[in-house]
Structure 1
Amino acid sequence: MSPAFLEAARAIVGPEFALAGSDIEPRYLEPARYAPGQAAALLRPATATQVAELVALAAAHDLTLVPQGAHTGLVRAATPTDAGRHVLLATDRLREHFDFDPLDRTLRVSAGYKLSEINERLEPEGLFFPIDLSADPSVGGMLAHNTGGTRMLRYGDVRANTLGLAVVLPQGQVLQAGRGLQKDNTGLALQQLFVGSSGSLGLITEATLKLHPLPRQRAAALVAPADVESVLPLYQALMASELAGLVSAFEGISRPALQAALEHLGDAGKLFDGQLPEYALLIELASELPAARLDLNALLQEVLEREFESGRVVDAVIGADEEIWALRHSISEGLRDWGKVIGFDISLPRRHFMRFRAEGAVWLAKHFPPARLADFGHLGDGGLHFNLAWPHEAPPLDAEAMARLRAGINDIVLRLGGSFSAEHGVGPQIQQAYWQLSDPVGLRLAGEIQVLLNPKQTLGLTRFGPAE
């Protein structure tokens, strides 16, 4: 990186917001799950105009800008790795717009706002942006990776709730994609091209989001099915019942995942008299009606009583919503206590969900016996976090072994018609899998689009075309 670049960047954002070398705070370089990265510089613009100037400046100096939101992602797309050419552009100061439209129920918001901030400010209006995660991502990060979350079953992912974007293209031009309307069929929906693009087609500076009524009540249960074979029939029965429109979450949690979370929370024998089921279900109902008009706890209990009678359910915890969700969100922390977490963010046709779990477990036990599998996920929408902990005391996996591990699991995923990236997006962590497992025609087309928009590859770390 030339001194001229840093001097010009400081003229745009101010000296305190354009840092280099040891002046870069470690938090911008340390991802959620992997080793720290390195960067030539850190830039923190406060306006979309500053972003456009910085993007054009980096392109002129042939440097790669790496966009970063809250740095909560798990595919390393926001972690720079080249101390000579990678310049980190953090969006945490992009807070120009927070324009709420109560009639249209939309929010025009800058990319630097966090999910928690949005929903705290919308709560008095009785609305929220319905993405539910254990992390607290920024708007820009959610959009760049098309986040799903635990309540996608009812509300859809980020893509389904995005009405418009403002995007800085790799040469510094500004694109307004979409008008923020619920209905707009005037041409290609270009905003959708940038959702899920991992920041490599353009840098999102603001979005217009579709909002939803905030539920006035929720009712959750942690359910022990009779066996794994009962899980999907139970799901089908619930979604075919009169309560289908009230179901906001249907999560699956394996016994090891439950155990990891309970150990992390300090009460391993708390649930089910210490006899954890092989597989548990977190079922939640939600309604905009108050309990005085619709008692969700009573409805959920009624459903579970029917399932007890059918033999598909043998036990359940109900009436402890906060504790149940705290348990669900503690799984990842619990796995970190066990060892190095190796995650597979996949999705599958529901008909193959349990088959994959069984085949994946057998394959792991045969080829990587030290691995402690603790899968959990969004069974209601087919998503699965097929996560494992590699014990601290086991010899670490080298790059070749890690490649064999990922290839083996992904082979099973693809054979069963699944996706090797359900909601974490594409980044350096799964770049090889993207190249090896994607449709060749799709790879070529995606590469042509990236070359059109980002010909010098000066924005983002993901490469959407075929491997070079």
Structure 2
Amino acid sequence: MLMDEFLRAADEVCGAGFVVAGPAIEPRYLQPARYAAGQAAALVRPSTTAQVAALVKLCARHELILVPQGAHTGLVQAGTPTDASMHVLLTTERLREVFEFDPLDRTLRVSAGYRLSEVNERLAAHGLWFPIDLSADPSIGGMLAHNTGGTRMLRYGDVRANTLALTAVLGEGQVLHLGRGLQKDNAGLALQHLLVGSSGALGLITEATLKLHPLPRQQASALIAPASLEAVMPLYQRAMAGELAGMVSAFEGMSAAALQAALHLRGDPGRLFGGQLPAYALLLELSSELPAASLDLHALLQRWLECEFEAGAVVDAVLGADDTVWSLRHGISEGLREQGRVIGFDLSLPRRHFMRMRELAGAWLGAEFPQALVADFGHLGDGGMHCNLVWPKSAPPLDNEQMARLRSGIYAICADLGGSFSAEHGIGPSLQADYRALTEPAVLRLSGQVESLFDPRQTLGLTSFGPVWKSVL
């Protein structure tokens, strides 16, 4: 009866056809990319900030939890409801009321429901883009909620670094406008940066003002076989300095197992390096806003590689196949899923400890979980490591206790090296216990106090930053 009352009220807010009871929700809203399908009491599809605010108030009044969801393209669980009696799923796909482009300030005020691809298609005519580059096509709201970084964070920064203002609905339905959309603004606390990356726990973001960048007029990529693992970081240091300084837009690392999975997925495992893959390959990309007539990036990259080859730091490289190289990089996750269950670790390390993490994690897994195939890859240039494991289909499945031990073991190694157990995926439900175990009690208490200011009734989202997870309150 209580749910019937909520559904009737929500229908008045959103309009006929935009509120769906739990059993009738389409599977695409409930099935995430990596985890098991969820369930919800209802699905609501608002189109304005005012409607979102009204729905938040309704959920608070009926003691329901509102779970925001963007394009549902991510690998974290924060956008997937799990309770058929208490969770109301709010998709932002109809939040498209604002798209205001300022060519002079090079900013874009945009609603949360727009997809990244749509934004960049519209901006391309003006020679600009929002340079958070991902293999998926997320919504702007989802990118803000999880502070995504992507493959070109090395040059452009993450979402937080490119967010100037935002509008959010807090846990009791209050609409908050944070920031003025200015490049320089010290007229108060930058609370908009606090909400970015909060996984929906502090407020439901409905629009934002984004900083834009010029589109590159040319790019040049190479897939590089370094002479050894010891040569990798010196190569990175030399790429970031000298004649390539300021032009490196990506510096990715791929283990042989990760690269092999992508090659097998495309049916051509012997295509690169004569079929003899290096233990670790590098993807280096240069980009420039200058035309090739002023600066030939391909010639510059080739000359740099020739010098490194002569110095003995590089043994082979693939040039002139940019689309193929990036296709392989973005195909790694799918290729790994063909081999078994993927257990993902989204880590961040000081660069000086990056290779040490690989070494220690490999040794620990070899002793404790020898069936696991380590297939790490990621954003070596900014310290990000997708320390992905494949649990083979032929091996007995891991139980909950084994999985907890596996995760705590990898996270402990990362923490000992001064790293982060969540580089850019955010703190969703699956990481709540690890977050509380790895965070100082004083930080947990302060974070909980901040969260209670924004969402005192624990109405928003499936994430909590306090000492106790909201789902157990």
Question: What is residue 360 of structure 2 aligned with on the other side?
Answer: 359
What CA distance in whole angstroms lies between the structure 2 residues aligned with 1:354 and 1:79?
34
Does 1:280 pair with 2:285?
no
Question: Are the aligned partners of 1:75 and 1:430 in contact in 2 as well (CA < 8 Å)?
Answer: no
Question: What is residue 241 of structure 1 aligned with on the other side?
Answer: 242
Question: What is residue 421 of structure 1 aligned with on the other side?
Answer: 422
SS in 2 for 1:229: helix
Question: What is residue 327 of structure 1 aligned with on the other side?
Answer: 328
CA displacement, residues 341-375 of structure 1 (integer Å, 9 cap, x when unaligned): 10000000000000000110111111111111100
Does 1:135 pair with 2:136?
yes
Question: What is residue 302 of structure 1 aligned with on the other side?
Answer: 303
Of the structure 1 ranges 156-165 and 392-401, higher mean CA displacement relative to structure 2 is found in 392-401
Aligned residue runs from structure 1 range 62-77, under 5 A: 62-77=63-78
SS in 2 for 1:16: coil
Q: CA deviation at 1:242?
A: 2.5
Residue type at the aligned position of 1:141 = G
Residue type at the aligned position of 2:452 = V
Question: What is residue 94 of structure 1 aligned with on the other side?
Answer: 95
Q: CA deviation at 1:73?
A: 2.2
Q: CA deviation at 1:186?
A: 0.3
What CA distance in whole angstroms lies between the structure 2 residues aligned with 1:389 and 1:291?
42
Residue type at the aligned position of 2:4 = P
Residue type at the aligned position of 2:64 = L
Q: CA deviation at 1:467?
A: 2.9
What CA distance in whole angstroms lies between the structure 1 residues aligned with 2:274 and 2:247?
30
What CA distance in whole angstroms lies between the structure 1 residues aligned with 2:274 and 2:388?
26
Question: What is residue 17 of structure 2 aligned with on the other side?
Answer: 16
TM value normalised by structure 1: 0.99
Of the structure 1 ranges 66-75 and 340-349, higher mean CA displacement relative to structure 2 is found in 66-75
SS in 1 for 2:246: helix
What CA distance in whole angstroms lies between the structure 2 residues aligned with 1:37 and 1:98?
32
Of the structure 1 ranges 320-329 and 434-443, higher mean CA displacement relative to structure 2 is found in 434-443
What CA distance in whole angstroms lies between the structure 2 residues aligned with 1:124 and 1:256?
40
CA displacement, residues 138-179 of structure 1 (integer Å, 9 cap, x when unaligned): 000000000000000000000000000000111111000000
Question: What is residue 85 of structure 1 aligned with on the other side?
Answer: 86
Q: CA deviation at 1:455?
A: 1.4
Does 1:384 pair with 2:385?
yes
Structure 2: give runs of 5+ residues left out of the alignment. Answer: none
Report % sequence identity: 70
SS in 1 for 2:105: coil
Aligned residue runs from structure 1 range 216-295, under 5 A: 216-295=217-296
Q: CA deviation at 1:119?
A: 0.5
SS in 1 for 2:254: strand
TM value normalised by structure 2: 0.98
Aligned residue runs from structure 1 range 151-170, under 5 A: 151-170=152-171
What CA distance in whole angstroms lies between the structure 2 residues aligned with 1:319 and 1:404?
44
Structure 1: give runs of 5+ residues left out of the alignment. Answer: none
What CA distance in whole angstroms lies between the structure 2 residues aligned with 1:190 and 1:404?
37
Question: What is residue 398 of structure 1 aligned with on the other side?
Answer: 399
What CA distance in whole angstroms lies between the structure 2 residues aligned with 1:30 and 1:202?
23
What CA distance in whole angstroms lies between the structure 1 residues aligned with 2:76 and 2:327?
24
Question: What is residue 121 of structure 2 aligned with on the other side?
Answer: 120
Question: What is residue 441 of structure 2 aligned with on the other side?
Answer: 440
How many residues in Structure 1 have an aligned counterpart in Structure 2? 468
What CA distance in whole angstroms lies between the structure 2 residues aligned with 1:21 and 1:130?
37
What CA distance in whole angstroms lies between the structure 2 residues aligned with 1:21 and 1:457?
21
Q: CA deviation at 1:418?
A: 0.1
